[in-house]
Amino acid sequence: MRSRRPLTFRGLAALLIGLMCAVAANLMAAPILLYVTVLLFALVIVAVIAVHAPRRGGSVSRRISTDLLTVGEESQVAVRFDLRALRVPFGAWEDLLPDAVAGEASGDFPTDNGTHIRYAITGVRRGVWPVGPLSLHTIDPFGLAQRVQEFGDSRTVIVVPEVVPLASMTSAAGIAGGTAHTAASRLGQGSDNLSPRYYVSGDSMRRIHWRATAHRGDLMVRQEEEESSPDAVVILDRTARRWSRTGSDADPDFEIAVEACASIALHLVQEGYSVDIRDSAGTELGTLRGQEDERDSLLVALAMVSPQGEGRDIASLFDGTPPGPLVMITGSFSDDDAAQLHHGGAAAPILLVTDPGQDAIESAAALGWSSARLDTDVAAAWEDALADHVTPGSSHVPR
C-alpha cells in the first residue's frame, strides 16, 4: 500500500529547502532567498490544493473467474471501476491483496480499457481472504503532493487445499471399491431388480412375484435384498498438541495434512465409497455421496480448519459400525500414541503421520495399521501406506 502522507518526498524536500532559505536570508541578509522561500511554499500549497480539493466518488465491482481458488491455481479477477469526478485523474490504481494470494494487482490509471481492470491471482495459502479495497494514487504535475483514496468494499476469495491424483485401490483386505454395509430394502411393486425366491408358508400374498411365478411355474415371492453401499471414514487429527505453530504463521505439516485429507476423501468417493470426513473430536467436516456441491462444501470446510482441542477414541467416531477403509491423518505421533491407536475393527485401517516417533510406524503396524510418513508428496505417501492395496500405474484426479 502506498503512503498516505499528503506530500511526496519531493514535496517534503521543497518545504525543507524553503525553511533553509528563510534561515539563510536572515543570517546572510539576502532578501532574494525570501522570494525563493515564498515561491517554494506557494508551489507546495497549490499542489496540495490541486490534488486534494477535487471531490471524487465511485463504485467498484469484482468478478473472480473461479468460485473456489485452489492453492497453486491461477484465476482471473475482473474489476469494474466507475469513477465519478470533474475530470479524470492520472495516477496509479492498486487492489489490495492478502499475503495468501499472489498477483500483480496494480497499474496505471486511466487504463487502456477505461473502467475495466483485469489481473491474475494465484492461491498461496488456504483460507478465506479479503481482496480489496481498490485505491487510486494521484500526484500533482510537479510531484510535490499526493493523494491515496480508497473506493468500494472488499470481496472475499476462498482458497481451498490442492487435490492431488492418487493411485487406485484394489479389492483386497476388505476394500472392494463399492462393497460395504448400508442396507437398502429394494422391495416394491414392479421392481425388476428384486431377487425372487420360492414361496414358503407364512409369506404374504402381496409379496408374490407374478412375473417370476409365470416364468418358473412355481409360486415365487419377492426377496428382501441388501444393496451394497460402501462406507469409508477419513479422520483429520486436529489435536492441538500434535501440531506446532509460530505466531500467525501456518504450520506446514498441518497444511500437508489438510491437502492429504481433501485428496484422499475425494479419491475414495470416486472409487465408489460413501465417505464421512471428521476431525479427531468427532466433528463432521463433510460427507461425500457423489454430489458436486458436497465436494465444494468439503473443500470450503477444509479451507478454514486449524489445530485445536483434544481428540477422542477412534472407535467412538464410527456410529457403531466399523467402516471399510479408515484413514487417519495426524501430526506429531509418539511410539506410545501408536501403541494405543486401535482401529475399532475397520477393514482397512490406514495411518499417515507427518512427524512419527522412532518406532511409531512399527507400533501401529503391529495393531493392523498400514502406515507411512506423510510429507510434501501426498501421492507417494499414499502408495507407501497401501503397497498391498493399489493398482500399479493407475491414477486419476477427483473432479
- 39-95 pLDDT per residue, tens: 999 999 999 999 988 888 989 999 999 889 999 999 999 999 998 888 888 889 999
Distances (CA, A) of 290 to 21, 184, 185, 200, 229: 78, 17, 21, 40, 12
Q: Which residues of the chain have pLDDT under 50?
A: 171-176, 178-193, 225-229, 246-247, 388, 390-399
Q: For domain 166-179+229-396, give the fold.
A: Rossmann fold (3.40.50)
Nearest CA to 206 out of 195, 182, 222 is that of 222
Instruction: Give the position of cell 539576502.
Output: 30
Q: For domain 57-160, give the fold.
A: Immunoglobulin-like (2.60.40)
Q: How far apart are CA 276 and CA 325, in angstroms?
A: 11
- In this structure, what are the phi and psi dihedrals at residue 86, rounded to the nearest 5 degrees? -65, -35
Find the radius of gyration of the CA atoms of the chain. 33
Return the domain boundaries, the chain: 9-52, 57-160, 166-179+229-396, 185-227
- In this structure, what are the phi and psi dihedrals at residue 296, rounded to the nearest 5 degrees? -65, -40
Nearest CA to 331 out of 262, 233, 240, 232 is that of 240
280-330 residue pLDDT tens: 888 899 999 877 788 999 999 999 999 988 888 777 777 666 778 899 999
Q: What is the pTM (predicted TM-score) of this model?
A: 0.75
Question: What would the grid cell of residue 134 be?
Answer: 481498490
Q: What is the pLDDT of residue 225?
A: 44
